[in-house]
């Protein structure tokens, strides 16, 4: 049994093609809850286009008190002024990110296939482990809850539990994870992203009141 830790929110964006067009939705989401971090994803493979998006949106996120991460590109994180990088998997790119970015920037890791990979990542200098994919996939909410609960009970490295549905937020808040990530679906909520984030924050508040 672990003590309840009220998680903060981690936002996963959809692939962004137009920073100016996406900025209002991002600003609304940031203002609706206790957001610790935003993972900016990109529609383009072009390095220049990605750098332009980060440089445009990073100040908005950072001014709101949250960190900006980019996926799988340590060089982009350093060159564009991001706070760090989220790496999928524990291969060479992860090792390179640790070498090139730590301790100045954040290095997180996800796409961990099993407990052995998670423990290997935890023995590194990673800042967090993510359980659940950036997109809905093979892992169910119950499986994500089980893995995050296992990790939080045994290890000190912070972890993130991914909620692809708002209904999953409150159960995941009880896992012991330091962060609950909201999948990109919240940006398509017909009520707007602010309403979706506010609903997620209310779920975290309920979990805290119940603990």
157 falls within a domain: yes
CATH number at residue 47: 3.20.20.70
CA 88 to chain centre: 12
pLDDT of residue 2: 53
pLDDT of residue 3: 66
24 falls within a domain: yes
**Would you place residue 51 in the very low, low, confident or very high pLDDT band (cuts 50, 70, 90)?**
very high
Please check the confidence at residue 1 and state whether its pLDDT lies above 80: no
User: What's the structural domain count of the chain?
Assistant: 1
pLDDT tens for residues 165-205?
999 999 999 999 999 999 999 999 999 999 999 999 999 99
3 falls within a domain: no
115 falls within a domain: yes
Yes or no: say if 197 and 27 are a contact pair by the CB < 8 Å rule. Answer: no
pLDDT tens for residues 99-152?
999 999 999 999 998 999 999 999 998 999 999 999 998 789 999 999 999 999
Yes or no: say if 177 and 161 are a contact pair by the CB < 8 Å rule. Answer: yes
What span, in angstroms and rounded, lies between the C-alpha atoms of 36 and 34?
A: 6
132 falls within a domain: yes
- What single DSSP character describes residue 65? T
pLDDT of residue 125: 87
What is the residue-averaged pLDDT of the chain? 95
Radius of gyration of the chain (CA): 16
- Joined together, the tokens standing for residue 155 give 């290890």
35 falls within a domain: yes
Provide the residue range defining the domain that includes 39: 8-210
1 falls within a domain: no
What is the reported pTM? Answer: 0.96
82 falls within a domain: yes
């Amino acid at each position: 049994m672990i003590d309840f830790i009220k998680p903060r929110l981690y936002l996963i964006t959809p692939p962004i093609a137009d920073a100016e067009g996406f900025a209002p939705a991002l600003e609304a989401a940031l203002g609706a809850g206790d957001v610790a971090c935003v993972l900016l994803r990109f529609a383009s493979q072009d390095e220049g286009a990605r750098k332009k998006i980060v440089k445009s949106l990073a100040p908005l996120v950072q001014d709101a008190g949250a960190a900006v991460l980019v996926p799988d590109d340590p060089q982009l994180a350093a060159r564009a002024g991001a706070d760090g990088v989220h790496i999928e998997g524990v291969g060479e790119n992860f090792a390179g990110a640790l070498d090139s970015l730590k301790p100045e920037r954040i290095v997180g890791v996800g796409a961990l296939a099993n407990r052995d990979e998670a423990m290997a990542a935890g023995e590194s200098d990673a800042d967090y482990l993510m359980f659940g994919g950036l997109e809905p996939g093979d892992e169910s909410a119950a499986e994500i809850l089980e893995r995050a609960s296992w990790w939080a009970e045994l290890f000190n490295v912070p972890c993130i539990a991914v909620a692809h549905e708002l209904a999953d937020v409150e159960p995941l808040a009880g896992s012991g994870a330091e962060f609950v990530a909201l999948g990109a679906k919240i940006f398509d909520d017909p009520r707007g992203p602010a309403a979706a984030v506010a609903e997620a924050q209310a779920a975290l508040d309920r979990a805290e009141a119940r603990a």
